[in-house]
A and B are shown apart, each in its own frame.
Chain A
Amino acid sequence: MNLAAVISAIGAEQADKIAVIERERSVSYGELHDGIASAAARMRSIGVASGDRVAIALPNGAAFLSCLFGSMLLDATAVPIRYEYCIHEVGHILENASPRAVVCDSAWLKGRSWIRELLPPGCDIIDYSIPFDSGAGKQTVEAVSDAQNPALISYAYTGAGEALGAVHSHLSCTLAGKAYKRHVGMQADDRILFTLPMPNAFTLAGCVFAPLLEGATLVVENDFTPKVLLRAIANHQVTILTGVPAIFRLLATCYRPSRHDICSLRMLITGGDYMPENEHLDIEQQLSVQMVQGYGLTECFPVLCNRPDDTNRPGTLGVTGRDVEVKIVDDEGKAVDAGVTGEIFVKTTSMMTEYYNRPERTALVYDGTWLHTGDLGHMDAEGYIHFDGLKKNLFNIHGNKVDPGEVRSVLLSHPSVVQAKVVCDRSSVYNGSSPKIRACVSVVDVEQITAKDIREFCKERIAVYKVPSFVDVLEVDKS
């Protein structure tokens, strides 16, 4: 079983149905089918074969989807890279995944003159913005793979020195998509709008696999500005909006019933960051649309979700669907009673097989049956899971997970920085704000380097959402 072949087959059955709406164009299922075949043919023409990995750095859209499923069609493993990643992240991912090809566009290459030096031996760049002449018309690519073969490696955050790529099989991806669409009641006539990055596992399961397997329509928008989303909802008769809490907060403050038409919306899906009950209810009331909150991880796709009916419990992470089990355990791994906080453990058919080439790190979180999520929670008397914070050392900035160790390693790579400390500053959680990353660095000569210099240094090396908002520069103690 090959996920790309399953999705491509939908193109054969309903070629005219719209699969993807982007700013500039609409793409039908038939065109997506052709795009996937074309991407696969192009990759094959440079030597990508079964068992290879293909890194993909493209913005959200049909081109990304063509390459994602094109690599899967060849029984290669897709390795999506967040489009905003810089040298630090890309370097670690390429070193870990050792892809056969990197598919990107000229805009991405333009800002990354260092890319060719980071390529593993034998790795080629495919510039997808240059049209591909497939030569002898449409080439048929036969999809050959076992359901257990690796379809995808998803990197949640790259870690201080180790890129951690969760490997998912065709079966894992397919089951995640099917379970998600069943759980939230996705229909073929749904139009799902989202701005979340496609490489993210929540986006892949909920906004790519689920709707495409159902034959629904994806509405892709790369700008999360409220007025842009409100226009998209009206123009494309969007039925489902998926996002992180920050997006819904912004939308609720800008929505005006007299100016904006959102009557097509039937459901909001929030995840990636915790939405407390009072905020959840306020947003539902302001937008007059039901919102459901869910929870998942890169390592095992969506785990919990509320359903869009009267079982919805705002402020909770929801309940499990079929084929997923959750338990709350103490430090010894023993299940605790309802109401008691412990670590959330997950068992699911959509489990990663490993962190790619990281057996020791895999063994730390996965015992072969249960995933140790590093998140804290408790189950209530009705069986709903509540979120109680992070056990693992990660910052959550508007849904983006940031490893402070990674930020620290970048700071320490600055030639003038002797010591560095990275903390999460929660003191300024004002209206519309989030926790802020604050760094404190010690340098030899405090006259020579400013906070702005340090921030600029970071911006060249890591994604902008990981760059500390505030930097204190101190002189190292010379005594």
Chain B
Amino acid sequence: MKDTIAASLAKLVGKKVDEIDFEANIFDDYGVDSVQAVKLLADVEVEYDVDIPEEEAQQIRTLNDLLNVVSELRESKG
């Protein structure tokens, strides 16, 4: 999952996958804007068949945040 999510962001911001830092703030460090953030989350939701609640989506700043939210949602689905 880590590789797929990193690849999604890499494609969005024009970087190589191995350049992606999971602790970087995607807005401040990669210049992601609100439309790109929506696209990133939407792609991940479709890929992993999860529905990220709005309140949690608004808290996401790093790829690790996103990874944690998606992992928890998948676990609770069983």
Contacts and interface: CB of A to CB of B under 8 A. Distances in A.
A465 B39 contact: no
Contacts of A263: none
Contact of B33 (A225, A227, A451, A465): A465
A368 B33 CA distance: 40
Contact of A470 (B31, B35, B39, B46): B31
B38 interface: yes
A479 to B, nearest CB: 32
A83 to B, nearest CB: 14
Interface stretch (A27-35, A160-168, A411-419, A428-436): A428-436
Nearest to B10: A430
A398 interface: yes
Contact of A464 (B14, B34, B45): B34
Nearest to B57: A225
B28 to A, nearest CB: 5
Interface in A205-241: 223-228
Interface stretch (A113-121, A246-254, A317-325, A348-356): A246-254
A469 interface: yes
A253 B12 contact: no
Given A250-B39, A254-B42, A430 B28 contact: no
A17 interface: no
Interface string B33-52: 11110110111011000010
B42 A428 contact: no
B31 A432 contact: no
Contacts of A254: 42, 46
B27 to A, nearest CB: 8
B16 interface: no
Given A254-B46, A434-B33, A455-B28, A225 B12 contact: no
A391 interface: no
Interface residues of B, number: 21
Nearest to B43: A253
Nearest to A427: B14
Given A227-B51, A253-B39, A254-B42, 6 more contacts: A224-B38, A228-B54, A253-B42, A256-B46, A428-B13, A451-B28
The 10 closest A-B pairs by CB, nearest first: A469-B31, A432-B39, A428-B14, A246-B35, A254-B42, A430-B14, A470-B31, A398-B35, A226-B42, A225-B38
23 contacts: A225-B38, A225-B41, A225-B54, A225-B57, A226-B38, A227-B51, A228-B54, A250-B39, A254-B42, A254-B46, A398-B33, A428-B31, A430-B14, A431-B11, A431-B12, A432-B12, A432-B35, A433-B12, A433-B36, A434-B35, A464-B34, A465-B34, A469-B31
Interface of A: 223-228, 246, 250, 253-254, 256, 397-398, 428, 430-434, 436, 451-452, 455, 464-465, 469-470
